[in-house]
Amino acid sequence: MRVLAGTRKGAFILEADEARNRWSIDGPFFAGWEIYHIAGSPADPQRLYASQSSGWFGQVVQRSNDGGRTWQPVNNEFAYDAIPGTHQWYDGSSRPWEFKRVWHFEASPLQPDVVYAGVEDAALFRSDDGGEHWHELSGLRNHSTGSSWQPGAGGMCLHTILLDRSNAGRIYVAISAAGAFRSDDGGATWLPINRGLQSEYIPDPNAEVGHCVHRLAMHPAKPNVLFMQKHWDVMRSDNGGEVWHEISGNLPTDFGFAIDVHAHDPDTVYVVPIKSDREHFPLDGALRVYRSRTGGNEWEALTHGLPQEHCYVNVLRDAMAVDRLGSCGIYFGTTGGQIYASADSGDSWNAIARDLPPVLSVEVQSFA
Amino acid sequence: MIRVLLPAHLKVLANVTGEVEIDPKDGASISAVIEAVERRYPALRGTILRYGVRERRPMLRFFACNTDLSHEDPKSPLPAAVLDGEEPLLIIGAIAGG
């Protein structure tokens, strides 16, 4: 097992055997830099990509061919296609598109050298040579609604990329705060898929775009079923995003960032409810993962091994992952520097790291 | 030789220690020197001057001979003492953040 953690001050790699009892921690890699995401290739687990950035020096992309033992900087130029045009700023004024950082890498399930990058200001890039060159899939940003997209509080980031393994042309992305989009032709053209979302904080609560989608999740065996943690509301679509319906059910609060699906049960979903958009910490100071075994609406609190008092951390959108072992492991990182792991689908939890910098992202590689 | 002192993070990224030396024949201005540094250390591309516009990143400054050169024309000649190697060209990151 290998857990890849991106933090505010570097990357860390945690390893354990199948029992997942004892973890080694290696790092920090790229010490002092923000690592928004570190991800592995499903086609070659030794191939890793890391997004290394700083306010001083901009973006660096690192690639490893040996599971993170050594790294090589690859191309860090993300040039928008043609004249990039404008999007809306927080106050409604127009701002030119400007690259700031890579939020998320999603490697092809079949080809180690093919990797997608979701960036801020929101755009999708692809490399076909392991990061040596990047080209924009500009049909997304050039969608007719693009000039009306606005940033969320964290910036106008493309933070989620889902590749449908059963349909090579189908890609889902999510952008804060534009919403969710789907391509059925490999990224050439895009369709907003936000029908059914209702966001009371925007002028038209049912608008085609403008929803602050925090995260999407999908089980590869049911690629038409999508789960979404929106700013507020946990949502589900059963038809590839054509229509969404709310599944918040009995959650104590439906604000949050992270959401993921059990590796072996497409109807088992996990979220980490956060108190509100004003108070980014768990309700009542108790860190609780909520699990639904029914695809939503009916949720149970998972607390065993998690702090149940005086806990005021956040769990960010890319900081939850699941492994592929028989008893599916669940992992999440906190802004307090802890990484919690469950080897029994969430029934019990242990901190496998306690004092890292604030955790921005968590990915898991299973080798069983 | 022109002596260039990089910020600590960029030294790590370029895998260098100490100063970087650039032959004045490769450039006698700030922009030419940085381009020469980038050619020798491709990992530094885009980290000092932004891609496309080739402007200094806002949280970096250029100093030499006790003078802030950050707002000078980057294509203007460097001071003679820098070209002679008596004084280094300092690329300095803003002291900010946590």
**What are the structural domains, with CATH classification, of chain A?**
2-169+256-365 (2.130.10.10)
What confidence score (pLDDT) does residue A40 get?
A: 98
Show the low-confidence residues of chain A (pLDDT under 70). Answer: 368
What confidence score (pLDDT) does residue A4 get?
A: 98
Among residues A157, A175, A141, A151, the alpha carbon closest in space to that of A91 is found at: A151
What confidence score (pLDDT) does residue A293 get?
A: 98
ipTM: 0.95
pTM of the full predicted structure? 0.96
**CB-CB: which of B57, B96, B97 is closest to A58?**
B57
What confidence score (pLDDT) does residue A368 get?
A: 63
- Asked if residue A344 has a cis previous peptide bond (ω within 30° of 0), the answer is no
State how far residue A28 is from chain B, nearest Cα, in angstroms: 13
Tokens of A193: 């898929």
CB contact under 8 A, B51 and A33: no
Q: Is the pLDDT of residue B98 over 70?
A: no
pLDDT tens, residue by residue, B6-47: 999 999 999 999 999 999 888 899 999 999 999 999 999 999
**CB-CB: which of A33, A56, A77 is closest to B94?**
A56
Residue the block writes with tokens 């590749």? A163
State how far residue B45 is from chain A, nearest Cα, in angstroms: 8
Report whether A142 contacts A189 (CB < 8 A): no
Give the mutation candidate from A8, A35, A57, A76 for the B interface (greatest B CB count, under 10 A).
Answer: A57
Residue the block writes with tokens 């952008």? A175
What confidence score (pLDDT) does residue B97 get?
A: 59
What confidence score (pLDDT) does residue B16 get?
A: 96
CB contact under 8 A, B9 and A56: yes
What confidence score (pLDDT) does residue A367 get?
A: 86
Report whether A115 contacts A49 (CB < 8 A): yes
The count of other CB atoms within 10 Å of the CB of residue A240 is 19
Buried-exposed string A312-326: b where 16+ CB fall within 10 A, e elsewhere? ebbbbbbbbbbbebe
- DSSP code for B49: B
State how far residue A249 is from chain B, nearest Cα, in angstroms: 40
The mean predicted confidence, pLDDT, of chain B is 94
Residue the block writes with tokens 């030294």? B11
At residue A160, φ and ψ (nearest 5 deg) are -125, 135
At residue B67, φ and ψ (nearest 5 deg) are -125, 140
Among residues A117, A100, A219, the alpha carbon closest in space to that of A173 is found at: A117
- On the 0-12 / 13-18 / 19+ scale of CB atoms within 10 A, A243 is middle
**What are the structural domains, with CATH classification, of chain B?**
2-93 (3.10.20.30)
